[in-house]
Structure 1
């Protein structure tokens, strides 16, 4: 049988919720609104990283790479610089959804 796909090629996905869809999980939204550093630590803990890494754009880049999510380091930097709470809420919602789907 001939090989029709090159090894290492894969489809890129999107985050499972948008950056401004905070209303999809009110608890995460409140945490991101009132204690963004706590949310960053929770995300870092979920990803087995140091708590200080949870607030950095690198955590989003690592997550995107791990789950083949569309984007770039430049996009991650802009998102974290412009709206860190919304970006972290999106990341936490995506982590929770992947946990529910048993793919985290």
Structure 2
């Protein structure tokens, strides 16, 4: 009994798993942008409203958070809901790695630092993208003979 070897087609598929980026700055990198740091230090509610507006949200969105924190200061854990929602929104919009638990910890641990990190991320993401090519291009310059100057007799 004769066997015939038939060609087999092999299909290969390459799967690339891309790691989600991290925040462009850490929580305590306030000195990376002193303008953001000073604005948050001197008037946090105004800073929160500006940051919310910069992200495309309603200007007054963050205002309930400080009020809620003042009334609920005797509860064991206070996580301002609007600030948490803003952080999650920015993280999801730009594909930043992390979880809701990380966001809860960051907002609860240092409220103002969390807002500064959000503002720095927004500022970084709004910068124009610059693409630099590493390819070397060679130009050949060919010099042609110039025609003789035109002498006119008047």
TM-score (norm 2): 0.58
Sort the Cα spacing of 1:42 and 1:10 in 2 relative to 1 into closer, same or farther, 3 A. farther
Equivalent of 1:5 in 12, 15, 19: 15
Query: Residue 11 of structure 1: CA displacement?
Result: 2.5
For residues 41 and 21 of structure 1, what CA distance do their matches in structure 2 show? 21
Counterpart residue number, 2:48: 40
* Structure with the largest fraction of helix: 1
What is the CA deviation profile of residues 37-56 of structure 1, one whole-angstrom value per residue up to 9, with x for unaligned ones?
A: 11211121112112324852
For residues 33 and 71 of structure 1, what CA distance do their matches in structure 2 show? 26
For residues 61 and 124 of structure 2, what CA distance do their matches in structure 1 show? 23
Task: Return the index of the structure with the highest Cα Rg.
Answer: 2
Counterpart residue number, 1:58: 85
Give the number of equivalent residue pairs: 100
TM-score (norm 1): 0.82
Runs of 4+ in structure 1 deviating by more than 2 angstroms, as ranges, are: 1-6
The equivalences for 1:1-104 within 5 A come to 2-5=12-15, 10-50=18-58, 51-53=60-62, 56-102=83-129
Cα-Cα RMSD: 2.1
What is the CA deviation profile of residues 8-53 of structure 1, one whole-angstrom value per residue up to 9, with x for unaligned ones?
A: x643111111110101111100111121111211121112112324
Whether the aligned pair in 2 keeps the contact of 1:11 and 1:68 (CA below 8 Å) is: no
